[in-house]
Amino acid sequence: MNINHSIYAAGCGRKLKRFVLGALLCLSAGPVFAAPSAPSARPDAVQLELFFEPLDGEGWQLFFLADTVQRRLAAADLKVYPLVSKDKDGHFSAKRGEAELAEALRLAVLVKAYPRKLLSYLGARSMSPAADGWRDAAVFAGINPDELERRAAADGQAALAAAAARAAGAGVTGTILLVDGKPYEGSRRLMPLYEAVNSALPLTRRVPPPAGYKPRPKAPPPAFWVVLSSGAKKNDALVGAFDRYFEGIKPSVLDYDSAERAEKFPQLEFAPAYIIAATPDAKARLEKELQAGVFKEAGGYLVYEDRQGRGIYASRAAKENTLELFVMSECPFGVSAENAVLAAEKDGLLPPGLKLEIHFIGDAKKKDGGGWEFSSLHGEPEWRENARQLFISRRFPDKFKAYLLARNVDIKSPDWEKPAKAAGIDTAAVAAGSDEAAALLAEDFAKTSALGITSSPTFVLGGREVMMGLGELGKTPGFEKIPAPGQSGAGCNK
């Protein structure tokens, strides 16, 4: 799987090992707000307001829930607003790059010019996830897509400014659903949201349950803990995904360095970790995920390691003042990360004396007759380049970085010898070292797999602190001056 461009899944730049959590959760910040929005002006109605990033899976999940609820409850009204960022110069940007910004601009125009058609557009857009699927969605909603495009070009910036002002006025900076101006904090399930909205209506406007209906008693959820590294915050969207398995589940949050964590989970290998008691019911509900190795079962617990953003390899030995960069050599995001780090090193923007190591993501299998069978996301040319770079870094360490910068100018080109010669490397020696290169690659792939790293680029600092993407590295003390990429969370996924 490479980069998912689905309109409601594109935010999932990081694959979660085929766990259904991955379908329900994307790499996104939890909702952040400073003040409640104004409540509905109608005393006999409930106002639902969804603020979301157009390529954020969590936001789309909330839209599907809220839209379904408002269709059932005539006195509920749903408004949807796009979220974007605005810099000091007044320029707008979106977390997931230009594609998300373009969709946010269209949504802002729809809010302003076609408010009654917005929900129809969004429903159709979810069914038309291609890059130009917005045109079909517009036609479905009764809008001429050419006219929408003209309006976006003429009025889009003003519409985005209005949307940003509305979010700022509500104190909203992240994906959130407001019910009469207050954040919805219940389960991310249909019936809990339905019941919350229905109960917020005046008695005379509420929809009664079906005649004779008696709700079944709900089984209590298993015990649930979230273990965080110091300074980290729990992923509320991920907690919400667990809630879809076990309604009403609430975590106890432990700091990895706490005595309570050390006593209860002494062998924990990675944090953040989301841990539930391995009850028979929990194991039955998560049977497929257990079989796929998504959860680790140990000591009466089921452990899910959240590797989407930042974390620590708690049991790994420290590597002082060392930055390990895990990439696929033909991944454009990995190439950008390599170039940015090397440029920062050249300009003296990295911690003094920092050692940089390049490692690779892929698979190696020993052949029955000897030798290795390799696989890499971008095919044979990529794993061969991976092996070549490992060999050069071993045999020509003082020339490796020069080769890497020259090679990255046109990484897809089969002519690796030109950049090698430009760096002063003996190309005949490289060609003759294919067996050694293969052994180095097999060893490197094994080390990467043992760490569970599947996304390019991934950084590990000091042997233990892991972060996904160049944007996360730039938040780390000592690395703040590395130029931020256009898509800070984007990557190629194994």
pLDDT of residue 41: 55
Per-residue pLDDT of 389-399, as tens digits, reads 999 999 999 99
Q: Would residue 218 count as lying in a domain?
A: no
pLDDT of residue 9: 41
Say yes or no: 54 and 138 in one domain. yes
Instruction: Indicate the DSSP class of residue 32.
Output: -
Domain boundary among 279, 313, 347: 313
Per-residue pLDDT of 146-167, as tens digits, reads 999 999 999 999 999 999 999 9
CATH code, 36 = 3.40.30.10
Q: Is residue 26 predicted with pLDDT exceeding 90?
A: no
Q: Would residue 219 count as lying in a domain?
A: no
Q: Is residue 18 predicted with pLDDT exceeding 90?
A: no
Say yes or no: 480 and 423 in one domain. yes
> Residue 238's pLDDT band (boundaries 50, 70, 90)?
confident
Say yes or no: 114 and 142 in one domain. yes
Pick the residue with more confidence: 87 or 242? 242
Say yes or no: 482 and 352 in one domain. yes
Q: Would residue 232 count as lying in a domain?
A: yes
Number of domains in the chain: 3
Domain boundary among 313, 337, 357: 313
Per-residue pLDDT of 409-434, as tens digits, reads 999 999 999 999 999 999 999 999 99
Q: How large a percentage of the chain has pLDDT more than 90?
A: 73
Per-residue pLDDT of 357-375, as tens digits, reads 999 999 999 988 888 999 9
Say yes or no: 271 and 344 in one domain. no
Bridge partner residues of 273 (DSSP): 227, 305
Q: Give the pLDDT mean for 316-323.
A: 95
SS3 content of the chain, % helix, strand, coil (to 5): 40, 15, 45
pLDDT of residue 441: 98
Q: Would residue 7 count as lying in a domain?
A: no
pLDDT of residue 280: 95
Instruction: Compute CA distances 187 → 7, 207, 209, 421, whole Å.
Output: 24, 20, 20, 60
For 290, what's the count of Cα atoms within 13 Å in the CB-facing half-sphere?
Answer: 14
Bridge partner residues of 74 (DSSP): none
Q: Is residue 36 predicted with pLDDT exceeding 80?
A: no
Per-residue pLDDT of 446-455, as tens digits, reads 999 999 899 9
Contact 377, 353 (CB under 8 A): no
Q: Would residue 215 count as lying in a domain?
A: no
Per-residue 3-state assignment (H helix, E strand, C coil) for 283-352: HHHCHHHHHCCCCEEECCEEEEECCCCEEEECCCCCCCCEEEEEECCCCHHHHHHHHHHHHHHHCCCCCC
* Domain range enclosing 253: 224-313
Q: Is residue 226 predicted with pLDDT exceeding 70?
A: yes
Per-residue pLDDT of 190-211, as tens digits, reads 999 999 999 999 999 999 999 9
Say yes or no: 338 and 309 in one domain. no
Instruction: Compute CA distances 470 → 27, 145, 339, 473, whole Å.
Output: 14, 36, 11, 5
Say yes or no: 288 and 329 in one domain. no
Q: Would residue 340 count as lying in a domain?
A: yes
Say yes or no: 282 and 382 in one domain. no
Single-letter code of the amino acid located at 303: V
Q: Rounded to whole angstroms, how far apart are CA atoms 134 and 140?
A: 10
Say yes or no: 330 and 476 in one domain. yes
Say yes or no: 336 and 459 in one domain. yes
Beta carbons within 8 Å of 407's beta carbon, 6+ residues apart: 385, 389, 416, 419, 420
Indicate the range of 120-129, 278-287, 302-311, 370-379 predicted with least confidence: 302-311
Say yes or no: 121 and 146 in one domain. yes
Instruction: Compute CA distances 481 → 351, 410, 460, whole Å.
Output: 11, 26, 18
pLDDT of residue 95: 83
Contact 439, 279 (CB under 8 A): no
Q: Is residue 342 predicted with pLDDT exceeding 80?
A: yes
Per-residue pLDDT of 93-113, as tens digits, reads 888 888 999 999 999 999 999
Pick the residue with more confidence: 348 or 494? 348
Q: Where are the beta strands (DSSP E) in 109-156?
A: none
Domain boundary among 313, 334, 364: 313
Q: Rounded to whole angstroms, how far apart are CA atoms 175 and 193?
A: 16
pLDDT of residue 488: 53
Average pLDDT, the chain: 89
Q: Give the pLDDT mean for 180-184.
A: 94
Q: Would residue 209 count as lying in a domain?
A: no
Indicate the range of 21-30, 129-138, 185-194, 428-437 predicted with least confidence: 21-30
Q: Please report the DSSP string for 58-78 in residue order.
A: HHHHHHHHHHHHHHH-TTEEE
Single-letter code of the amino acid located at 421: K
Residue with tokens 């461009």: 5
Instruction: Compute CA distances 126 → 64, 107, 421, whole Å.
Output: 9, 13, 50
Per-residue pLDDT of 286-302, as tens digits, reads 999 999 989 999 999 99
Q: Would residue 16 count as lying in a domain?
A: no
Put residue 91 in one of left, alpha, beta given phi > 0 → left and psi -120 to 50 → alpha.
Answer: beta
Say yes or no: 348 and 289 in one domain. no
Per-residue pLDDT of 246-282, as tens digits, reads 988 999 999 999 999 999 999 999 999 999 999 999 9
Measured in degrees and rounded to the nearest 5, phi and psi for residue 316 equal -85, 145
